[in-house]
Every structure is written in C-alpha cells, then in structure tokens.
C-alpha cells in the first residue's frame, strides 16, 4: 500500500452515506471514486458534490479497478451480503452498524471474514469522540484506579417515525447497540446483562412492541458494573454523557452545548444555549476520526477501529438485553 489517497467506493447515499462521502472528500488520505445506490438519483447527487462514478449496482463497484476500500452505508439487511462480496474480493470494508439484526446471519458470515484476513471495521463512531476516547485512555492509564462503575446516558431528542421502528430491530439493536460497544470499549469482558424497558410516551414503539425507555445493567468479569440509560426523547436536546468511576476518582463527559457563551442576570445564572440537536452535529469529529483510523487499519498501521468481532459482540449484548427486558430475567453472556 502506497501513501497515495485510498480510493473509496461508497454504497448507500442516505443521511449517513452523505456524511461519509463528505469526510472522504475532505480527507487528504482518501478519495471517492465510486458511488453505488439502487436509488440512482441519490448516487448522482452525492457524486455531483463529492466526486466519483455512479452505478445503481454494487457489483459494478466491486469489479472496478480503482477501488481500494468500500464503505457500506446501505440499509442493514444488505450488510451481510455486501461484506461477504468485499472480503471475497480482498477489499477492506468499513460497514455501518449493525452487521445484521439476526445473530445467526452474523455467525454464518463470521468464518468467511476470519479466513479472508481482510480488514473489516464496524461503524461504532462514538469510540472516536475526542472526549470519550480521552476518558478511556485515562482509565487505561490508571488515573482513577481500577474501573468500578461506568455510567452511559444516551437520550435522543425525539422518537423516530413508527415505520422506522418497525424495521429497526428495536431500541436495543438500533440505539443501545452504540452504548453496548462503548461499554466494551472500557470493559471488553461483559458476562451478564439485565435490562428493563418500558413504553411510556411513544405510540410508534407501542405499535411495534418496542420500548421507548430503557435501563441496562452490564456486569463485567472484573465485577465492574455498567449502567446504560436510554430514552427516545429529551426536551433538553441530544443528551450524551458518560462517567467513569474508580477508587481514586472519576472522569466525566458533559453534554456539548451549541455555544460556549453563558448568560448571568438577576433572573438566572449561567444560562446556556441548548445542547447540540442530533448525532450528526454531536459526533461530527468522531466520524472524521473513524475514517482516519480505518485508513490506518487498511495501511497496516496502528488502529483502534472496531472489528467485525466487536460488531458481533455488541449484537450479542443487544439480543441479551431484549430477552432480559421481555422475560424479566438476567442473562449470562459470552461475547468471544
């Protein structure tokens, strides 16, 4: 692999595909050479802004001579087949989460990915958020002693459309899966999952038998405990916080506001702007860093890219949480 920009094929041009296209075009280490989407108008729009040839068929992209890596941002049901095509051709792939909603399909693909020896990374971008990554590094360095408790708060501004909930796989596989990966970023050896889910406000979740509110407790092999708090709505904006606690202290990540300016008057003190509105704003830096880590992985350098195995492990935890919340039991797990 040379130092020339890595030539990317992008599959999928929805909201997240457009984020990735912009980051590929902005990085000096990457260039967008192909854009594929069955909805070809979307592919033309993305290519018009960020470059690349257009096709409505992923097969044409995979067969192209000027594709060094593939970024999969298409709907979840397509991920397994597209990853399989990529590794069969020896093409490194960065795929949006989850690998699939069905662990059986993931496990069927698992030996092929392992045997191919081709880099496969999963899009758990929150590992690359500068603040979260700093806390994890400081925990590893022993600054607060052995990690005893990890608290992750993740609340969306508003619930998604009911139609989306119906195909999303439910809150644990769609939303909490990011938090499961974050938990494993700090504590890889999770051995038990206990989850409580309720439906308190969202008719869409109620219609599809899903939860709009959830609390999950994970127990690590070390005895450390992770608490994940989720809600599908938040009046204060996109609520993303984290605390790591140990015998020597704690490290916290607060919400990011739209402005660093605060107002103090006779009526209020330290009044601030709202929190950033949604994940595209909150995690913009993380998506760019995720791409950089993947480029390093493809080039054989040091990389913190989440692997196929990380993607599988997060789905194992999501499935266990779904069972726990439905059956009201704690579920023992193995993620290896």
SS3 of 261-315: the string is CEECCCCCCCEECCECCCHHHHCHHHHHHHHHHHHHHHCCCCCCCCEHHHHHHHH
State residue 272's pLDDT score: 83
pLDDT band at residue 262 using 50, 70 and 90 as cut-offs: confident
Residue range 263-270: mean pLDDT, rounded: 87
Digit-coded pLDDT (tens) for 79-128: 999 999 999 999 999 999 999 999 999 999 999 999 999 999 999 999 99
Q: What percent of the chain has pLDDT over 90?
A: 90
Digit-coded pLDDT (tens) for 305-333: 999 999 999 999 999 999 999 999 999 99
pTM metric for this prediction: 0.94
Question: What's the rounded Cα separation, in Å, for the pair 134 and 151?
Answer: 16
- pLDDT averaged over the chain? 95
Task: With H, G, I as helix, E, B as strand and everything else as coil, classify residue 221.
Answer: coil
pLDDT band at residue 196 using 50, 70 and 90 as cut-offs: very high
Sequence-ordered alpha helix ranges (H) in 58-175: 58-63, 79-88, 103-116, 130-140, 162-168, 171-174
Asked if residue 33 has pLDDT above 80, the reply is yes
Digit-coded pLDDT (tens) for 223-247: 999 999 999 999 988 999 999 999 9
Question: What's the rounded Cα separation, in Å, for the pair 301 and 311?
Answer: 21
Question: What's the rounded Cα separation, in Å, for the pair 144 and 244?
Answer: 8
Digit-coded pLDDT (tens) for 203-215: 999 999 999 999 9
Residue range 133-155: mean pLDDT, rounded: 98
pLDDT band at residue 269 using 50, 70 and 90 as cut-offs: confident
Residue 72, token pair as written in the block? 């999969």
Edge-to-edge order in the sheet of strand 120-122: 53-55, 30-36, 6-11, 69-72, 93-95, 120-122
Distance from the Cα of residue 119 to its chain's centroid: 17
**Number of Cβ atoms within 10 Å of the Cβ of 333:** 19
pLDDT band at residue 1 using 50, 70 and 90 as cut-offs: low
State residue 334's pLDDT score: 94
Top-confidence residue, 5 or 280: 5
Digit-coded pLDDT (tens) for 47-64: 999 999 999 999 999 999
State residue 2's pLDDT score: 65
Asked if residue 178 has pLDDT above 90, the reply is yes
């Amino acid at each position: 692999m040379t130092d020339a920009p890595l030539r990317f094929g992008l599959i999928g041009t929805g909201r997240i595909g457009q984020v990735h296209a912009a980051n590929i075009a902005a990085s000096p280490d990457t260039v967008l050479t192909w854009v594929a989407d069955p909805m070809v108008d979307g592919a033309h729009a993305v290519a018009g802004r960020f470059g690349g040839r257009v096709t409505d068929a992923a097969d044409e992209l995979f067969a192209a001579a000027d594709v060094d890596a593939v970024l999969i941002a298409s709907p979840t049901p397509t991920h397994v087949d597209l990853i399989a095509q990529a590794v069969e051709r020896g093409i490194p792939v960065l795929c949006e989460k989850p690998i699939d909603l069905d662990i059986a399909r993931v496990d069927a693909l698992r030996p092929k990915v392992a045997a191919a020896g081709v880099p496969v990374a999963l899009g758990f971008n929150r590992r690359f958020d500068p603040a979260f990554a700093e806390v994890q590094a400081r925990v590893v360095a022993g600054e607060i002693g052995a990690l005893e408790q990890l608290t992750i708060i993740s609340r969306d501004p508003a619930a998604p459309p009911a139609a989306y909930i119906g195909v999303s796989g439910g809150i644990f596989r769609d939303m909490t899966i990011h938090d499961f990966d974050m938990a494993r970023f700090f504590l890889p050896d999770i051995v038990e999952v206990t989850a409580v889910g309720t439906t308190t406000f969202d008719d869409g979740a109620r219609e599809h038998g899903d939860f709009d509110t959830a609390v999950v407790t994970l127990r690590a092999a070390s005895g450390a405990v992770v608490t994940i708090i989720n809600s599908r709505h938040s009046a204060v904006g996109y609520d993303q916080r984290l605390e790591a606690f140990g015998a020597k202290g704690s490290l916290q990540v607060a919400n990011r506001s739209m402005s660093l300016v605060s107002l103090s008057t006779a009526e209020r003190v330290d009044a601030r702007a709202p929190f950033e509105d949604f994940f595209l704003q909150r995690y913009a830096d993380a998506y760019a860093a995720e791409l950089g880590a993947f480029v390093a992985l493809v080039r054989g350098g040091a990389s913190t890219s989440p692997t196929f195995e990380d993607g599988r492990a997060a789905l194992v935890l999501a499935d266990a949480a779904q069972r726990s919340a439905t059956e009201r039991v704690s579920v023992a797990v193995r993620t290896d």
